Amino acid sequence: MGATRWDAPRTAVSFVSAGPGAADLITLRGLQRLQSAEVVLFDALTDPALRAWAPQATWVDVGKRGFCDSTGQAHINALLVRWAAQGSRVVRLKGGDASIFGRLEEEIEALQAAGLSYEVVPGVTAAVAAAAAAGRPLTRRGRGRSVCLTTAVATDHNGQPQLRDSRSADTEVFYMAGRQLAALGRRLQQAGWPADTPALVVSRAGCADQLITDHVLSGLAQAALLHSGRPTVVTVGVGAQTLGQATRAQSPAEPTTPVRLELTP
């Protein structure tokens, strides 16, 4: 089914959002694209278990990990265009959702410049994966009506995280925050958030080894060691508040065996 639909009209490149890490958080559509791929260009943050879905394809590691790309973006663009121009059915597999902090625009523009067609398959972005893992909805009726997604990676000339000047959304979610936790806590307080604002830190959301810790802004530095070296999302404000006594089940499932898709008549 995936292959048929993908071919009509023939799309050179399918950008597929792989989700936050666990292989079973990819969408069905993304999986179908993988199953009919001839070449898969993948990032460091996508689950190796996804390979089992496309054993027929050539898998090319482009090594990118969030904004810290070890392979340059220009090189990725060139690879993408080269494989697609050869007529190969290319899946560009990106961690999280491709439209959020994925530098998707640069890869699309490279394809456009080469006259190549594309589609984008959306996915589960890290903010909602963290919210689901912790059982903390990002919006709350009556008091949490706006959610802002941003990064803690860009730094100013003092090496401090660049933040917007004011707090404006009810909930702020910071992507790629792992290395900036202490500075992030300081800067948010400078921007007007009270020191005791709840801050929820989640790493490897949705995976069997996910880690969820609760802090306040003034103690955010304490999360650094706990989540060291892991893809980390920080939720601050209303969306970080607990909902009372949780009876939430333990860590969600991560499949250890691949699942196969088959058509039913």
Q: How far is the CB of 75 from a second copy (least distance, A)?
A: 16
Q: How far is the CB of 135 from a second copy (least distance, A)?
A: 6
- Asked if 105 and 113 count as a contact pair (C-beta separation under 8 A), the reply is no
Q: Which is nearer to a second copy, 66 or 178 (CB)?
A: 66
Over its C-alpha atoms, the chain yields an Rg (Å, rounded) of 20
Q: Which is nearer to a second copy, 228 or 255 (CB)?
A: 255
Give the C-alpha separation, 37 to 121, whole Å.
14
**Residue among 10, 12, 8, 5 at smallest CA distance from 31:** 5
Q: How far is the CB of 97 from a second copy (least distance, A)?
A: 5
Give the C-alpha separation, 154 to 244, whole Å.
35
Q: Which is nearer to a second copy, 192 or 228 (CB)?
A: 192
Q: How far is the CB of 130 from a second copy (least distance, A)?
A: 9
Give me the amino acid identity at 173. Answer: V
Candidate list 24, 61, 64, 94, residue with the active-site label: 64
Residue corresponding to tokens 């992507």: 175
Cα distances from 220 to residues 8, 86, 92, 212, 234, in angstroms, run 50, 49, 35, 13, 9
Give the C-alpha separation, 229 to 238, whole Å.
27
Give the C-alpha separation, 226 to 232, whole Å.
11
**64 counts as catalytic:** yes
Candidate list 7, 24, 43, 209, residue with the active-site label: 43
Q: Which is nearer to a second copy, 99 or 222 (CB)?
A: 99
Q: Which is nearer to a second copy, 65 or 103 (CB)?
A: 103
Give the C-alpha separation, 2 to 16, whole Å.
13
Cβ within 8 Å of residue 262, ≥6 positions away = none
Cβ within 8 Å of residue 100, ≥6 positions away = 125, 126, 149, 175
Q: How far is the CB of 73 from a second copy (least distance, A)?
A: 8
Q: Which is nearer to a second copy, 61 or 109 (CB)?
A: 109
Q: How far is the CB of 222 from a second copy (least distance, A)?
A: 25
167: left (phi over 0), alpha (psi -120 to 50) or beta: beta
Positions marked catalytic? 43, 64
